[in-house]
Amino acid sequence: MNNDLFGFEINVWADAAARLGLIVGLMTVVVMGLIYGERKIIARFQQRLGPTRTGPAGLLQSVADALKLVAKEDVRPRSADPWVFELAPYFVFVPIFLMFVAIPFALRWEIRVLELGLFYVLAVSSVNIVGWVMAGWGSDNRYAMLGALRAAAQAISYELPLVMSLISVGIVADSFNLTEIVRSQGQVPNIVWQPLPFFLFFVAILAELNRTPFDIPVGESEVVGGPFVEYSGIRWSMFFLAEYAALFILALLGAAVFLGGWAWPLGEEWGLGWQLVLTALKAGALIFAVFWVRVTMPRLRIDQLMAFSWKVLLPISFVQVLANGLVLVYEPPQHIANILLAAVSGAGLLLVVWIMNHSVGKPRPRPVLSPRAATAPTATRSEAAR
Amino acid sequence: MSPLDQLFSNYLPVFLGTGIGAILVISALVGSRLLAPYSEERNKGTTYECGMLPIRRASTNVGMRFYLYAILFIVFDVEAVFIFPWALSYLAVGPQAYWEMVVFVGILAVGLAYAWKKGALRWQ
């Protein structure tokens, strides 16, 4: 069996290995760029300069960091569970790396076109949380354990809105094949017909990536770094490599599913270079939005975070899926269907925004823990949370 | 290529990628083992706890509320697994398939409403 790679007919095994090798190189370069970019962008937001010393305009900062991390001592606590502790970086990194298999960069530029690409990406990505829990459990550290539990609770809560938002787009496109989804967007990207799923997707990827405002699993002021408190040197950097690679992949996924990928607005006839530029621009815009949210929003409390997912996002995402089904099942003409989809989804988005606006700033009802706590000075709980 | 060959060719990178991903991590660890210094010291092996010596193992009591969310998650994730094939095939079956899914989601929505009313979704 042979496959076509840049015009050469080569064996499928060699083809798969070559494509994965290219992805390894791309991922390393992009992750280094993202770390540098994030530091520079956040510095501009905070009126600082960011890295300037290493190389021209600090461009070699990530390389220097990587070298430092490789040459740093790698300590394992004596009381840690050796197997669980040592295997955790693999379980965090490998699922993220496997997500690349189905992600398209341009027309016929992907590792493989999977018929169930969307399903595959979601299925593989959720294995990652096992690695987080392993890291927390194996470290034998209370901060790590707490961070891992929070990470697990948050990841499973926001997994459902993420899955439902992508299913509702899959229903509209009538396919889970990412190339087909990009093609089906034709003249108008999905974000216009499906604004609510885009919002759900964006919120859910912030939570899946443990980014502010959903960073309680790794919040430095609460659990000092979360599941990887005990990790150091290169093992620690594996978690961050996985995190930034996941940011890159999810931004590419969002660009393909919601923003029209390489096709909109130029169409598929334009050359490969333009397609790659479009994909990069759209993914870059999403990544920039993630950084922007990070510097703008304060951290959510865990009760707010869970309530937001289970009481707001989850019900409304199921309603969105069923509403899309209802619009399409009676097979109205194309333009009427599109208008109905956009109207229903837009109304849902307005509802979510109204709920968020309404509930922000409401004081939290102070729970009565025990008779002793009830008589204690009232300031303690809120002070501790801060 | 026959459909079976196509399927094999499609999922081959998943198989190879598992190995390549693991090799990436291993090579980083080996590189670090070659370059990084290492010194035995007694206190280095203790876990971090703000300068205190940790008492007992860390993996002890876990809050009940985490289990509640885990159970709810399993229910809804199984539901999501059923929705995936439905989403691609209900148009071929017609309105009947759609209303069946509405009933199915409705039953689980009643479950969520019950959990909500019982206070399972309140974090305290």
Per residue in A228-263, pLDDT (tens digit) is: 888 888 888 888 899 999 999 999 999 999 998 888
Q: Lowest mean pLDDT: which of A2-6, A72-76, B114-118?
A: A2-6
Give A366's pLDDT tier (boundaries 50, 70, 90).
low
- Cα gap A73→A36, rounded to integer Å: 24
If one compares A322 and B3, the residue with the highest pLDDT of the two is A322
CB A98 within 8 A of CB A124: yes
Phi, psi of A347 (to 5 degrees): -60, -40
Mean per-residue pLDDT, A123-127: 89
Residues in chain A: 386
Longest alpha-carbon distance in chain B: 70
Q: pLDDT by residue (tens digit) across A138-153?
A: 888 888 888 888 898 8
Give A365's pLDDT tier (boundaries 50, 70, 90).
low
Cis peptide before B13 (omega within 30 of 0): no
- Cα gap B104→B106, rounded to integer Å: 5
A383 has a pLDDT exceeding 50: no
* Share of residues in chain A with pLDDT > 70 (%): 92
Q: Which of A24, A174, A302 sits opposite B20 (nearest CB)?
A: A24
CB within 8 Å of chain A, chain B residues 51-70: 54, 57-59, 62-63, 66, 69-70
Residue A4: enclosing H or E segment and its boundaries? Answer: strand A2-5
What tokens does A134 get?
């392993």
A260 Cβ contact partners less than 8 Å away, ≥ 6 residues apart? A182, A185, A189, A190, A278, A282
The predicted structure's pLDDT at residue A98? 92
ipTM value for the complex = 0.89
Q: pLDDT by residue (tens digit) across A292-331?
A: 999 998 888 888 888 889 989 999 999 999 999 998 888 8
A63 has a pLDDT exceeding 50: yes
Q: Please, which residues bridge with residue A11 across strands?
A: A2
User: Can you list the pairs that A15-20 forms with residues at least 24 positions away whose Cβ atoms lie under 8 Å?
Assistant: A16/A111, A16/A112, A16/B9, A16/B12, A16/B13, A16/B16, A17/B16, A17/B20, A19/A111, A19/B13, A20/A100, A20/A111, A20/B13, A20/B16, A20/B17, A20/B20
Give A386's pLDDT tier (boundaries 50, 70, 90).
very low
Q: pLDDT by residue (tens digit) across A256-289?
A: 999 988 887 887 788 888 889 989 999 999 999 9
- Nearest to residue A313, comparing CAs of A199, A208, A206? A199
CB A102 within 8 A of CB A115: no
Closest chain B residue to A324, measured at CA = B87
CB A199 within 8 A of CB B116: no
Give A384's pLDDT tier (boundaries 50, 70, 90).
very low
Q: Kindly state whether B82 is in contact with chain A, defined as any CB-CB distance less than 8 angstroms.
A: no
Q: Lowest mean pLDDT: which of A83-87, A139-143, B58-62?
A: B58-62
The predicted structure's pLDDT at residue A380? 46
Chain B residues whose CB is inside 8 A of the A21 CB are: 20
Q: Kindly state whether B89 is in contact with chain A, defined as any CB-CB distance less than 8 angstroms.
A: no
Q: Kindly state whether B71 is in contact with chain A, defined as any CB-CB distance less than 8 angstroms.
A: no
Mean pLDDT of chain A: 86
The predicted structure's pLDDT at residue A350? 93
Q: What does the radius of gyration of chain A's CA atoms come to, in whole angstroms? A: 22
B58 has a pLDDT exceeding 80: no
Q: How far is the alpha carbon of A278 from chain B, nearest alpha carbon, in Å? A: 26
Give A1's pLDDT tier (boundaries 50, 70, 90).
low
Closest chain B residue to A12, measured at CA = B9
Is A314 within 8 Å of B84 when comparing Cβ atoms? no
Chain A residues whose CB is inside 8 A of the B32 CB are: 69-72, 74, 233-235
The predicted structure's pLDDT at residue A322? 92
Which domains does chain B show, CATH number per domain? 3-118 (1.20.58.1610)
By DSSP bridging, strand A8-11 and strand A2-5 are: antiparallel
- Cα gap A102→A125, rounded to integer Å: 12
Q: How far is the alpha carbon of B123 from chain A, nearest alpha carbon, in Å? A: 5
The predicted structure's pLDDT at residue A381? 46
- Cα gap A27→A294, rounded to integer Å: 22
- Cα gap A166→A168, rounded to integer Å: 5
Q: How far is the alpha carbon of B76 from chain A, nearest alpha carbon, in Å? A: 7
Give A385's pLDDT tier (boundaries 50, 70, 90).
very low
Chains A, B: CB pairs < 8 Å: 210
